[in-house]
Structure 1
Amino acid sequence: MIYRLPLLALGAVLTLSACNDGGHTIVQQGPTDTMANELAAAPEVQLPPAIVASKTYRCDGNKVVEIDWTERDGNPAGANYRVGADTVASTVTNAPAEGTGPYTGPDGSSITGTKDAASVQVAVAGAPAITCRG
């Protein structure tokens, strides 16, 4: 025990002596921001809508549709849907008001219904609408 105390003290002294005390300058204003004007003029970033419900529906013709219902600021924003397991997800938006009209997509697809409805109407681009039950 007698030999350990001097060794610990020597280790602490060596550790503290490795610190660099020289020349630190703290500037109050900091360096000039070269992108300040661009950032001030940039449009506000809008996050994508939040997924509030994910449901799987069985449709006429024994098809399966997966729908992720989305909302923005508490208001319905649309849905992301996939028909079958091997298809790419598509998005529909632009419903006039919840329950009053279909959500439509840029490719002509549409979904009529809400996240709380027991059934929805799904129309994939170029095909007639099918009824799907949750």
Structure 2
Amino acid sequence: MKQYFPLIAVASLTLLSACNKNDEPEVVGGPADPMAQQLANAAPVELPPSVKANKQYRCKDNSLIFVDFMSDDKTALLRTEKNGAATSLKAAEAGQPFTAEGGFEVKGSGDDVTITVPGKGAQACHV
């Protein structure tokens, strides 16, 4: 057994010495990025707001309105059906009413709000 040990060691060193026999030089930095300057000067990216709260309101006319309030406190998504298409409403500032073209409006963001939907007018709604 002792006779094989030197042979195994020599064979191992021979195999290891054959590794990375590359004649080409290794490029560490890589090619220059042609957009590096533009990316360095670019404005910071703002992520879209996430859902802060989603509420289901029962309105005075006994209809259901579904509203998702976003984390930026300036955006809300309104749906008149549970799985219906959402209408994006925006507020000029946090705390102001959320509005959208066509006559959509949500005043408030708590459990009691006033919601205006085209064709129905403003009505009190609560959770």
Q: TM-score, normalised by structure 1?
A: 0.67
Give 1:82's aligned residue.
79
Separation of aligned partners in 2, 1:20 and 1:127: 78
The alignment-based identity, stated in percent, is 31
44-53 or 22-31, which deviates more = 22-31
Distance in 2 (alpha carbons) for counterparts of 1:21 and 1:92: 61
- Taking the aligned partners of 1:106 and 1:48, their CA distance within structure 2 comes to 21
Tell me whether 1:121 sits opposite 2:114 in the alignment: yes
1:4 paired residue number: none
Q: Which residue of 1 aligns with 2:43?
A: 43
Structure 1 residue ranges without an equivalent (≥5) = 1-8
C-alpha displacement at 1:130, in angstroms?
2.1
TM-superposed deviation, 1:69:
0.9
Alignment-derived partner of residue 110 in structure 1:
105
> In structure 2, what residue type is equivalent to 1:121?
T
* Letter of the 2:30 counterpart: G
Residue 59 to residue 119, structure 1, CA distance change in 2 (3 Å): same
Unaligned runs of 5+ in 2: 1-7
- 2-structure distance, mates of 1:53, 1:68: 6
Question: How far apart in 2 are the matches of 1:79 and 1:108?
Answer: 14
Across the two proteins, how many residue pairs are aligned to each other?
Answer: 113
Rounded Cα–Cα distance in structure 1 between residues aligned with 2:118 and 2:43:
33
> Which structure has the larger Rg over C-alpha atoms?
2
